[in-house]
A and B are shown apart, each in its own frame.
Chain A
Amino acid sequence: MTLDALNLMPILPEIILLVLACSILLIDVFMRAGSRDVTYWLTQVSLVVIFVAVLSGMSMDQRLSFEGSVINDGLSDVMKLAMILMTSMAFALSRSYLKDRDIHKGEYYILGLFGLLGMMIMVSAYSLLLIYLGLELMSLAMYAMVAIHRDDIRSSEAAMKYFVLGALASGLLLYGMSLLYGITGSLDIAVIRQAVLGGEIPKIALLLAMLFMLTGLVFKLGAAPFHMWLPDVYDGAPTAVTLYISAAPKIAALAILMRLFGDGLIGILADWQMLMIVFAVASLFIGNVVAIAQTSFKRMLAYSTVSHVGFILLGVLAGTADGFSAALFYVLSYGLMSLGGFGIITYLASRGIEADQLDDLKGLNDRSPWMAFILLILMFSMAGIPFTLGFWAKLAVLQAVVEIDLVWLAIYAVVMSVIGAFYYLRVLKMAYFDKPLITGMPVRSLDMRWVLNGTGIAILILGLFPAGLVALCAQVF
């Protein structure tokens, strides 16, 4: 085989992204300090370019390339499009926040683009090697982004925690992967799948490999009982970065969860299903109950992320096509809601006001009825009030769980969501019925207003007419 024989077309979007990211890096270095807006707009343009590149090559068929180590299918294409969109939205929502804190650096966008590259590699990875490399690329970019506000001690602490625990999780994942490689003799998931289904492999080694990989991945996802880092990191990082790391990376993590477990290790479904049930139950409990006690809006959203991760795991653990499409639907809607939630914080946070406490939301209706309305949509959707996007997502996941005869788990999840609804609704009570502590609204740029309003409206419309998105998610499996 020679280099000329390689078909580079399947990874064309990744190549374009890499070239554009490197060019922006160079342009940014030679730019004067005051003109970071140019970097921002260049970044948005490149995101549009790769969006088009992915869209033009989109197809629901499964296409393997690079000797079976890269996969392009409906799942990877839909996920890539969603991740590009969410990254672009995250950038739009965070520019003014960064400017107000004097950390509007070009590296925020550049690292964001490299992180996106890692995510894109992850979602079309079909070998252990690529999964790991993509994950590391994404994680490394995110560690650095969390630390971007270097003079803020909480940001540095969050970055340190994130880095150390993330490295530990990578180690666990890598250990499991090396065991899996040792017992199956291949890095390719297709081969591993056949080997596991063949049943020739000693069960105990396989289980140990699975345990390490699952622990590592769940650690990265932030499911309980490995969630301890998540609230600290989400809370300590600048909100602009929290925005970025809370949305698109979850999609990529779901992708490798599905590829590794839903595809490669489907032969031992019963074993990892049991473990995931434990993780999901713990996440739903901790996420919903601990969130009640929070006084910080940002921290509350972080705990709500833990509970949402629990729901995503519920979809994956079903191990059926319905379950996977439910999990995909859930993660897409979660991404939108999380962007909206943290987006409101960056919208309200002006110079000197962090706006990340629940008290800061008091009387939002008096300050800006429209903002309060968007908050209303978001909170209703996150709580899963009927006929909102979050409701359909939860419903799909619960259906998948009921289908595999785990009715008790579905009931438990419903009970936990009802408990969770309390703290979402408390936010609305504060916004609508309390007296404002701060008056006036910060003036925001057009792109930021559009994106935030668009997110709210999208969640509203998708909640009323979810059929299209549901059908898309069902089609890819």
Chain B
Amino acid sequence: MSFIKLLFLVFASSAVLSAFMMVTTRNTVYAALYLVLTFFSTALTWLLLEAEFLSIVLILVYVGAVMVLFLFVVMMLDVNTAATREGFVRFLPLGAGVAIIMMLEMSLVLGPKLFGLDVYPAPVPKAADYSNTEAIGSVLYTVYVYPFEIAAVILLVAMVAAIMLTLRRRPETKYQDAAAQAKVRREDRVRMVKMESETRVADIAKQGDGA
């Protein structure tokens, strides 16, 4: 067994195991952390496939951004674990049945007969200066530019939808308008008043004397 294969087995089993733990654990924060571990293990298996760009982007986007926000939400939730387990026993036979059928179907199809090494030979290792990132970039912006742009539009729609559903201007909350603050001029706040300087009564008297 080569070292690469050993690594693959370690990462793959860690991915499967943490995915399983994610589903079964009771603590929601743990579940999120197991999901992070799943992503990490998956990213590492991709790294073994010499797909370093996808692998790092998986960590950057899912581990670095998506799951952080997920944790953010999960930590603020007060999940009643007892309620979520209600009816577990009742639905267990049905769920287990579906799961077993799915497993059987998948093993039927995804076995070595259809996806074995003789059908999909191992890719030839690329030279050291081969840049995965460049290769992906060059097809992404030519052959797949249309799907790529559509994916961007999907994200735009998600953004519009999220803002529409959550933006709520409450008249009673006080906002700080940074633009208005920056636009303030001295004239808006301070009025310069030219005044004759006051003179003391004694001076007036003195002036009177002089005159």
A residues near B (Cβ < 8 Å) are: 1-3, 5-6, 11, 18, 22, 25, 66-67, 69-70, 105, 107, 110-111, 114, 117, 121, 129-130, 133-134, 136-137, 140-141, 143-144, 147-148, 150, 179, 182-183, 202, 204-205, 208
Contact = CB atoms under 8 A, between A and B. Distances in A.
Given A25-B160, A147-B165, A150-B165, 12 more contacts: A1-B142, A3-B145, A6-B145, A22-B156, A66-B143, A66-B146, A105-B164, A114-B160, A130-B147, A140-B157, A148-B164, A179-B109
A130 B161 contact: no
B179 to A, nearest CB: 14
B115 interface: yes
Nearest to B150: A133
A69 B146 contact: yes
Contacts of B108: 204, 208
B146 A140 contact: no
Given A70-B146, A147-B165, A204 B109 contact: yes
A183 B109 CA distance: 10
Given A1-B143, A66-B146, A179-B109, A137 B154 contact: yes
A18 to B, nearest CB: 6
A108 to B, nearest CB: 9
B158 interface: yes
Contacts of A129: 144, 147
B151 A144 contact: no
Contacts of B154: 133, 136-137, 140
B113 A202 contact: yes
A188 to B, nearest CB: 11
Interface in B147-178: 147, 150-151, 153-154, 156-158, 160-161, 164-165
B164 A107 contact: yes
Given A1-B143, A105-B164, A183-B114, A133 B109 contact: no
13 contacts: A2-B142, A6-B142, A11-B146, A66-B143, A67-B143, A69-B147, A107-B161, A114-B157, A133-B150, A133-B151, A134-B150, A136-B154, A137-B150
B86 interface: no
A133 B147 contact: yes
B165 A121 contact: no
Contacts of A133: 147, 150-151, 154
Contacts of A147: 165
A205 B160 contact: no
Contact of B161 (A5, A121, A140): A140
Nearest to A156: B165
Contacts of A205: 109, 114
A205 B161 CA distance: 38
A3 B142 contact: yes
Interface residues of B, number: 24
Interface string B104-140: 0100110001110000000000000000000000000
Interface in B68-117: 105, 108-109, 113-115
Contact of B153 (A18, A67, A150, A179): A18
B141 interface: yes
B29 to A, nearest CB: 23
A202 B114 contact: yes
Contacts of B153: 18, 114, 117, 137
What are the 7 A-B residue pairs with the smallest beta carbon separation, nearest first?
A144-B161, A107-B164, A133-B150, A205-B109, A1-B142, A114-B157, A129-B147
Interface of B: 105, 108-109, 113-115, 141-147, 150-151, 153-154, 156-158, 160-161, 164-165
A17 to B, nearest CB: 10
Most chain A Cβ neighbours within 10 Å, of B114, B141, B151: B114
A120 to B, nearest CB: 11
Contacts of A5: 142
Contacts of B143: 1, 66-67
Contacts of B156: 22, 114
Nearest to B113: A202
Most chain B Cβ neighbours within 10 Å, of A133, A147, A148, A204: A133
Contacts of A69: 146-147
B164 to A, nearest CB: 4
A472 B75 CA distance: 58
Contacts of A117: 153
Contacts of A110: 160
A459 B183 CA distance: 60
B207 to A, nearest CB: 63
Nearest to B141: A3
A18 B157 CA distance: 11
A20 to B, nearest CB: 13
A3 B161 CA distance: 31
A147 B158 CA distance: 13
A50 to B, nearest CB: 15
A19 to B, nearest CB: 11
Given A6-B145, A208-B105, A208-B109, A111 B161 contact: yes
A105 to B, nearest CB: 7
A129 to B, nearest CB: 5
A67 B147 CA distance: 12
Nearest to A137: B154
A202 B114 CA distance: 8
A150 to B, nearest CB: 6
A141 B115 contact: no
B115 A182 contact: yes
Nearest to A136: B154
A10 to B, nearest CB: 10
A70 B146 CA distance: 9
A134 B164 CA distance: 22
Contact of B158 (A66, A140, A182): A140
A47 B87 CA distance: 50
Contacts of A3: 141-142, 145
A130 B105 contact: no
Most chain A Cβ neighbours within 10 Å, of B143, B151, B157: B157
B165 A144 contact: yes
B46 to A, nearest CB: 16
Contacts of B144: 129
B146 A111 contact: no
